Chain A
Amino acid sequence: MKVFSKYISKHLLSFIGLILALIILNITTFAFTFHNAVSKNFGSTSPQNMLKQVAAASSSNGITKEAEKILITNSLWAMYLNIEGSCNWTVNLPEEIPTEYSIQDIAIFSKGYLKNYPVFVWSDENGLLVIGYPKNSYMKITSNYYPIDTVRKIPLFFLGIIVFDLAVLFFAYSNSKAQISKNTEPIISSIATLSEGKSINLSVSGELSEIADSINKVSNIISRQNTARANWISGVSHDIRTPLSMIMGYANRIVNDKDASSQIKEQAAVISRQSIKIKDLVQDLNLVSKLEYEMQPLQKENIRLSKLLRSYAIDLINSGLPDFYSLDVNISPDSENSVIECDAKLITRAVNNLVQNSIHSNPKGCTIILSLQITKNKLLLTVQDNGIGISTEKLKELKNKPHYMESTDDRLDLRHGLGLLLVRQIIEAHHGIIKIESNLHEGYKTNIYFKNANFNKPKEHFLWLL
């Protein structure tokens, strides 16, 4: 989101830069274009120069031939009026210009035009030199007087206008920036969701609906691919189950067959053990892919974890846990009645994966302890064993290594961590936190913290009297 504001601001800055460049360009163009006019005004034929030149080259009695020639070549005319208002001499005087003037006439034309000829005057002690320029060659402003206060206010006025314009521009900018942000926000957040591999459904109306449509299409493709992948895994795992049942069943029968030789029994035992590994893998793989692609609906109920742990432990012991493994369940009294909303089958599966992990890592036997307690207002479920554990480096690797389902590195070992990945996924689906502790030869311990537990107080009962 911030990225987008920055993007807009950056573009605004370059836009301001462009406006400044344009202003400079305009001024340059203006200066260049009017350079001629300005130089003409201040050049040798400008009224001021002409007046000076002619005044120097003439007197009340006449004008020199050279000055007369200059006037004629520039299509100008001139006359000299004496104190009484009549012409002493004229040069190139148009017919319509009179030769006698009253004081009023002089007062009017001296600031402006004489019969539409722009005229300029030069006064000396004997009279007035008048030079006329061709019609429409100069514009004279006849009413250029302003109150001095107004003139003084002009810079302030211009500054005010500029500030006002800038304010309007900034308002328009921030308004459109907010508008763009508002319209693009759902699109950007849905792209972020999409980048996590989750599907989205974006509904945006207006100009951006086309983008929203494209994003929805991408999301559909991703979720179709995810579904196809999960279904594919599910199909393979389904089809492998019946044949595997027979492999496991018959291998097991051979192991228990009185007539089979010990060598054959041993071989059958290997088949049996390995097929159980395939069984675990198939079961984990299917559930992992379903959780990964969010295709496993959680059947959440309020579950007493103490009861779940006991029931799991009893099932495991009753199903014939070998004697060299011992399984203890420690439930602290305060956690006995703690309830969490969870999918009991998935939580049992997670606990089972951890216990099976301990069993498989310690083929010579170990003590496995399932415990439940309350620490820092969280329900803590611990699965630990006193077996061989793993080294610090291995533990670090286990924590940091991306799982093969999330990694594109094809060297990753499939056998490792699928069961643990499933545990992690199940716990994350229940908003729990998982922490692994282990040292070589000091056992393996998995702590699972649940935040949303409901710690029911044990009730007092006198029912034993009944």
Chain B
Amino acid sequence: MEQSFLHTKKILLVDDEQELRKLVIDILSDDGFLNIIDAGTVQIGLSLVRQEKPDLAILDVMLPDGDGFSLMKKLRTFTNIPIIFLTAKDETADKLAGLGLGADDYIVKPFLPQELLLRVYAVLRRCYKSDSPLLELEGCTIDFSRAEVNKNGIIVSLTAKEYTLLETLSHSEGRIVSIDALCEALWGDNPFGYENSLNAHIRRIREKIETNPSKPVSLITIKGLGYKLNARK
């Protein structure tokens, strides 16, 4: 996965099982993450967050000197870093407890390396925007800092709705974003029957970013599901 700007993010892993820590570190570093720190207890984890100021914390729920939920409560008193829980418990109540506290995601053991990476990237992308405001597409460049599209030297500005749509899609670049998620990003919680409006916005965006709007290559329709934004390879 090419998410180079995310690979510099510092990740803290707290789990009492030393071998599992090694596995997770291996998985993350193999995929390009450069700064990974780890701890086996609540105490060490807490002091590492204070000293090292990680960008993401992956916490086990069961720890020798406490549990991940209380560690999270302590962290939340002084930092808002994203938190992913990693646990062997799959009870729904636990999930709610984790997410109710404001956890960003919840991974249930056993997990596949891809699943872990996918969720780590998703959380990081959601919380940290690319340092570069420019997104290179096939045939044009989007400058998010100025809400402009540069297509072959012609600059077109984006409306607020178009900007939100493109921003939402670019956060999940290369992956499908559902119609529902896009509608929610545009019009708030749980809107019904906004698909026509969404289509209209997509059509206008295509006119601005695609070389041939009737044969899109960057903003692809996934029939019945949603849309996908492809960056230039």
Interface residue total, chain A, C-beta cutoff 8 A: 50
Interface centre among A310, A311, A314, A466 (most CB of B within 10 A): A314
**A367 interface residue, CB < 8 Å from B?**
no
Instruction: Verify B23–A250 contact, CB threshold 8 A.
Output: yes
Interface string of A454-466 (1 = CB under 8 A from B): 0010111101101
**Measured between C-beta atoms, what is the minimum distance from B149 to chain A in Å?**
20
**B153 interface residue, CB < 8 Å from A?**
no
Output the nearest chain A residue to B180 by Cβ-Cβ distance. Answer: A307
Report Cα–Cα, A250/B19, bound state, in Å: 11
Among B26, B92, B225, which residue has its beta carbon within 8 angstroms of that of A297?
B92
**Measured between C-beta atoms, what is the minimum distance from B177 to chain A in Å?**
7
Identify whether the interface residues of A are mostly helix, strand, loop, or mixed: helix
Interface string of A4-46 (1 = CB under 8 A from B): 0000000000000000000000000000000000000000000
CB within 8 Å of B: which A415-466 residues: 456, 458-461, 463-464, 466
Interface residue total, chain B, C-beta cutoff 8 A: 49
Among A314, A459, A464, A466, which residue has its beta carbon within 8 angstroms of that of B192?
A459
**Measured between C-beta atoms, what is the minimum distance from B15 to chain A in Å?**
9
Could you say which residues of chain B place their CB within 8 Å of the CB of A318?
A: 118, 172, 175-176
**B206 interface residue, CB < 8 Å from A?**
no
Given A241-B88, A253-B26, A283-B90, A319:B115 Cβ within 8 A? yes
Output the nearest chain B residue to A329 by Cβ-Cβ distance. Answer: B224
Interface centre among B30, B112, B115, B198 (most CB of A within 10 A): B112
Interface string of B105-125 (1 = CB under 8 A from A): 000111111110010000000
Given A299-B96, A345-B92, A310:B179 Cβ within 8 A? yes
**Measured between C-beta atoms, what is the minimum distance from A13 to chain B in Å?**
57
22 A-B contacts (beta carbon < 8 Å): A242-B20, A242-B88, A242-B109, A242-B110, A245-B111, A246-B19, A246-B23, A252-B114, A253-B113, A276-B112, A310-B224, A311-B181, A313-B225, A318-B175, A319-B114, A328-B224, A336-B193, A458-B192, A461-B194, A463-B194, A464-B196, A466-B161
Query: What are the nearest 9 A-B pairs in CB distance?
Result: A464-B197, A464-B200, A241-B88, A244-B110, A241-B109, A245-B110, A458-B193, A318-B175, A329-B224
